[in-house]
Structure 1
Amino acid sequence: MLHGGPPGFHNAPVTRTLVISSAIITVTSGLRGRVNRLGLSYQDITENHNLWKTVPSVFAFSSTPELIIGLYLIYYFRIFERQIGSNKYSVFVLFSSIVSTLFEIAALRLLKDSRVLASGPYGLIFASFIPFFLDIPVTSRFRMLGLKFSDKSAVYFAGFQLLLYSWKRSFIPGICGLVAGFLFRINAFGIRRLKFPKKIASAVSRLFLSSSTSSSRSSSANVRGNARVSYIDHHVQRNYPSAGLIPMPEPPESSIATLVSMGFDSNAARQALMQARNDVNVATNILLEAQTR
């Protein structure tokens, strides 16, 4: 089954900050009775000019079911932070949150709807469905009750629930998030080339107490990755002595992405796929055996 790699927030400090912040702000708002004040409305924009509400509304969900589903999706999408790195993922988070909020404001002005939009990181969550749909391959399919499903179906189902949880209140933020994700995908304004300066990234890392752990994890991960590659060579030579006599095909990026999404090092994944002749299942077994060595 498809999963987000190793459990926990290993190599995903931005995701960890988002999950903790969203949970704390949601619970705090609920205890103070401010949940009903969250979310943007047409009156906030045109009459009250309460655009400050966008700040807590970006993080805090307005109900417990939305919080549970939303945190599950944010936690799952940590695979993208592991793939592109925390710096670029921070740019993606900031871009999707700001752009989706601007689209929400434009939608409220256009529709002149008096309802309050659902609050929470809808922009980030639904923007993440764009790379999830395009970049994460299906690795298995199955049938249940006569219907066809894949290992990605659970994530789509959770997103569908969140999108329609409050009907128009949640549908509009969800669609705005999808548009923001599409704009990031096509590199609108050259956003995908941007990175936070190293000084700012380092300061933010220290702020959330992740710099020391991430650096130590990174160095240890590199050591483990090199050791795994060496072990993979030894494993294949021992169990598949004829493999060295056969030209090894270059593995497709989709297969590498599949193994990386499971939490494996990209170099080790590439090496395992080459040794397994691009058989993802065999490569997974090789990597797992190297991991438990």
Structure 2
Amino acid sequence: MNGGPSGFQNAPVTRTFIIATALLTILLGIKGRSVKLGLSYEEIFQKFHMWRLIASLFTFSSTPELIFGLYLLGYFRVFERQIGSNKYSVFILFSILASLLFQLLPLAYLRDPSLGRLAPGPYGLIFASFIPFYFDIPVSFRFRICGIRLTDKSFIYFAGLQLLFSFWKRSLVPGLCGLLAGSLYRLNLFHIRKIKFPDFVASFFLRLSSPSSRILPNVVSNVNSTQNIPSHLVHQTEEHNPSTLASSAEPSEAFVAQLITMGFDRSSARQALIQARNDISLASNILLEAQSH
């Protein structure tokens, strides 16, 4: 698996979401309110405490959940880099709202007292992300431990299972609802995968998460005019790969194979890697943007 640039470069929405989740969890945990969060029939359909509904979408109720949740959210930033911050913002909104709706349905119709409060936290977004993780992220290597076949993706699945069963039915329900929301997005319900927010949304999160960042307009403009790559992708290449000012290298056959497993033809994969100077994350961005037009 290639996560692309280190840190949260080109993933400002993910970075903001993680910071907000961590701060809310810590703040409400200190005040002892996190244990009172979580969707329940009484809270939603009788008392209707809106602040609890909103807080429940972002706040984990325990430290182990927070650790595994932030780890998974951080890893899944690869999807923001692949489809862009504007489309990823739509994915976040769709995942949260769709999974919330699916959670409300059993609470409204089953009224099962054994469910109690469902586990709070961004389960919808996390488990919706497992759908593109399964289909779009290729396996880089395989190995065995005690005779059991594993891949580099196995550890992400183990972290997801730990989070999914952290509170048994209380966490299982929102996790499954997130998987369902991710499946609907994958099926392109209402052409949701073509929708994206305006450019100012990504710019807002970029300024919010990296207020000190600076862009060199002249360098970007010159490189973009010669390589025909979108300016924000050129900026990514310049920061991540110092060789961008050098001549294009022969594309890596391993990277070509990975892009082919993601559904792109060999010719397009090679051309994208040449443009991206062998940066597979940037090359996948170029191919995905070309598909969306």
- Shorter-chain TM band: 0.7 to 0.9
Q: Which stretch has the larger CA shift, 102-111 or 195-204?
A: 195-204
1:10 aligns with 2:9: yes
Q: Which stretch has the larger CA shift, 189-198 or 119-128?
A: 189-198
Q: In structure 1, what is the equivalent of residue 55 of structure 2?
A: 56
TM-aligned CA deviation for residue 3 of structure 1: 4.9
1:21-64 deviation digits (Å, cap 9, x = unpaired): 11000000011110112111111122212244221111110000
| Distance (Å, rounded) in 1 between the aligned partners of 2:235 and 2:6 | 17
**Count of residues in correspondence between the two structures:** 253
Q: In structure 1, what is the equivalent of residue 134 of structure 2?
A: 133
Q: In structure 1, what is the equivalent of residue 266 of structure 2?
A: none
Q: In structure 2, what is the equivalent of residue 80 of structure 1?
A: 79
Q: In structure 1, what is the equivalent of residue 24 of structure 2?
A: 25
Give the 3 Å change call, closer, same or farther, for CA 14–146 of structure 1 in structure 2: same
| Distance (Å, rounded) in 1 between the aligned partners of 2:69 and 2:19 | 12
Give the 3 Å change call, closer, same or farther, for CA 166–253 of structure 1 in structure 2: same
Superposed, which structure 2 residues align to 1:91-130 within 5 Å? 91-114=90-113, 115-130=116-131
Q: In structure 2, what is the equivalent of residue 71 of structure 1?
A: 70
Contact 2:38/2:119 (<8 A) preserved: yes
Give the 3 Å change call, closer, same or farther, for CA 148–228 of structure 1 in structure 2: farther
Letter in 2 for 1:183: L
Q: In structure 1, what is the equivalent of residue 35 of structure 2?
A: 36
Q: In structure 2, what is the equivalent of residue 254 of structure 1?
A: 259
TM-aligned CA deviation for residue 254 of structure 1: 3.0
Q: In structure 2, what is the equivalent of residue 227 of structure 1?
A: 244
| Distance (Å, rounded) in 1 between the aligned partners of 2:84 and 2:40 | 35
TM-aligned CA deviation for residue 99 of structure 1: 0.8
Give the 3 Å change call, closer, same or farther, for CA 269–113 of structure 1 in structure 2: farther
| Distance (Å, rounded) in 1 between the aligned partners of 2:7 and 2:41 | 39
Specify the SS of the correspondent of 1:232: coil
Structure number with bigger Rg: 1
Give the 3 Å change call, closer, same or farther, for CA 212–190 of structure 1 in structure 2: farther
Specify the SS of the correspondent of 2:117: coil
| Distance (Å, rounded) in 2 between the aligned partners of 1:40 and 1:214 | 42
Contact 1:57/1:119 (<8 A) preserved: yes
Contact 1:38/1:56 (<8 A) preserved: yes
| Distance (Å, rounded) in 2 between the aligned partners of 1:138 and 1:181 | 20
TM-aligned CA deviation for residue 19 of structure 1: 1.0
Q: Which stretch has the larger CA shift, 194-203 or 69-78?
A: 194-203
Give the 3 Å change call, closer, same or farther, for CA 183–32 of structure 1 in structure 2: same
Q: TM-score, normalised by structure 1?
A: 0.77
Q: Which stretch has the larger CA shift, 195-204 or 65-74?
A: 195-204
TM-aligned CA deviation for residue 138 of structure 1: 1.1
Specify the SS of the correspondent of 1:47: helix
1:237-266 deviation digits (Å, cap 9, x = unpaired): xxxxxxxxxxx9x945635869xxxxxx95
Contact 1:3/1:76 (<8 A) preserved: no
Give the 3 Å change call, closer, same or farther, for CA 50–28 of structure 1 in structure 2: same
| Distance (Å, rounded) in 2 between the aligned partners of 1:21 and 1:200 | 17
Cα root mean square deviation, aligned = 3.1
TM-aligned CA deviation for residue 269 of structure 1: 8.1
Q: TM-score, normalised by structure 2?
A: 0.77
Q: In structure 1, what is the equivalent of residue 151 of structure 2?
A: 150
TM-aligned CA deviation for residue 209 of structure 1: 4.7
| Distance (Å, rounded) in 2 between the aligned partners of 1:270 and 1:14 | 23
Letter in 1 for 2:110: L
Q: In structure 1, what is the equivalent of residue 224 of structure 2?
A: none
Give the 3 Å change call, closer, same or farther, for CA 112–51 of structure 1 in structure 2: farther
| Distance (Å, rounded) in 1 between the aligned partners of 2:16 and 2:51 | 21
Q: In structure 1, what is the equivalent of residue 213 of structure 2?
A: 213
Q: In structure 1, what is the equivalent of residue 225 of structure 2?
A: none
Specify the SS of the correspondent of 1:65: helix
- Name structure 2 gaps, 5 residues minimum: 221-231, 264-270, 281-293
Q: In structure 2, what is the equivalent of residue 267 of structure 1?
A: 273
Q: Which stretch has the larger CA shift, 94-103 or 218-227?
A: 218-227
| Distance (Å, rounded) in 2 between the aligned partners of 1:229 and 1:57 | 49
